[in-house]
Structure 1
Amino acid sequence: MWLLLLGKVQTLENLNARGMQLAPFCCLCVGSEESMGHLFLHCCFVDSVWESVLSPLNGQRPNLFNFLTVESFLHAWPRVQGSVFVQKVWELVPYVVIWSVWCARNDVIFKGKRRNAEQVRRETMAYLWNWLAVDEERGDHHFSDLILGWEAMVQGIG
């Protein structure tokens, strides 16, 4: 399902074709032409978000430039051992980062609102927590556990 949603993402090329004349450059880094691969994997702004979310992995952090497409990246996302809750959190991480980046990008284009990578990282954690709201496993955890225990959680994944 997520891959189908990604296929519907309106890149600048699609928006330009629909009459919204926008510069062909990524509005987050303003250094490269926007594409799905650039926006979600290769943009230096997005790399900062990924770095802050995955920094506890140290040398085991995936090199996003090894992936040409978002789909190949998602297919290569590692499986984890750990509690059911940790597994669910880890499975959601790439989608939540992508969603947060998408929201940040759209806010720049449509509202003129810019955020820095740290703000997007915090929004990522908030989205992650909210996406887990209906999960039975979340009942024993608190948002502060996710924020304060993030490093231990991610290091346990490697």
Structure 2
Amino acid sequence: FVEEVLGNWPVSRGTVFGRRVWSMLPYSVLWVLWKIRNERIFCNSMVSVERICLEIKAHLWFSMANWPGRADFCFQDMVLRWHEILLGLLIRRVVNVTT
């Protein structure tokens, strides 16, 4: 099942950042769900859907830490502007101001 999901994951047509996030999304979802499952089994903890979503976004963000394309964005964008990132509507450009 996992191989099928990963092998058939659709391609995004958004921005470079959005495509990177989208392509990594199934891996982050699987990782976080596995972690949450283990917390439930071994620690008897319950987790809200909101926390799961936030952890997936955090995992994606930190997984891209060394990728230069992340520099134009902040984690707050992942949390508050998720749909815009995935749809390619959020475009950031870092402007260097020298005096």
**Same-fold call, TM cutoff 0.5:** yes
Report the RMSD for the aligned CA atoms in angstroms. 1.6
In the superposition, relative to structure 1, how do residues 156 and 140 fare at CA in structure 2: closer, same or farther (>3 Å)? closer
- How many matched pairs? 89
Q: What is the TM-score normalised by the length of structure 1?
A: 0.52
Query: Of 106, 111, 115, which residue of structure 1 is paired with 2:47?
Result: 115
Structure 2: runs of 5 or more not aligned: 90-99
Structure 1: runs of 5 or more not aligned: 1-68
Q: What is the TM-score normalised by the length of structure 2?
A: 0.80
- Residues 26-65 of structure 1 mapped to structure 2, 5 A cutoff: none
Cα distance in 2, alignment partners of residues 152 and 82 from structure 1? 9
Aligned-residue offset at 1:154: 2.5
**How much identity, in percent, do the aligned residues show?**
36
**3-state DSSP class of the match of 1:133?**
coil
Cα distance in 2, alignment partners of residues 94 and 155 from structure 1? 17
Aligned to 1:105: 37
Are the equivalent residues in 1 in contact too, given 2:28–2:60 (CA < 8 A)? yes
Aligned-residue offset at 1:89: 0.6
Runs of 4+ in 1 over 4 A off after TM superposition: none
The letter for the 1-side match of 2:30 is I
* Residue 148 in structure 1 maps to residue 86 in structure 2: no
**3-state DSSP class of the match of 2:45?**
coil
Aligned to 2:2: 70
- RCO comparison, higher one (Cα < 8 Å, 6+): 2
Deviations 1:30-55 (A, max 9, x none): xxxxxxxxxxxxxxxxxxxxxxxxxx
Cα distance in 2, alignment partners of residues 116 and 145 from structure 1? 21
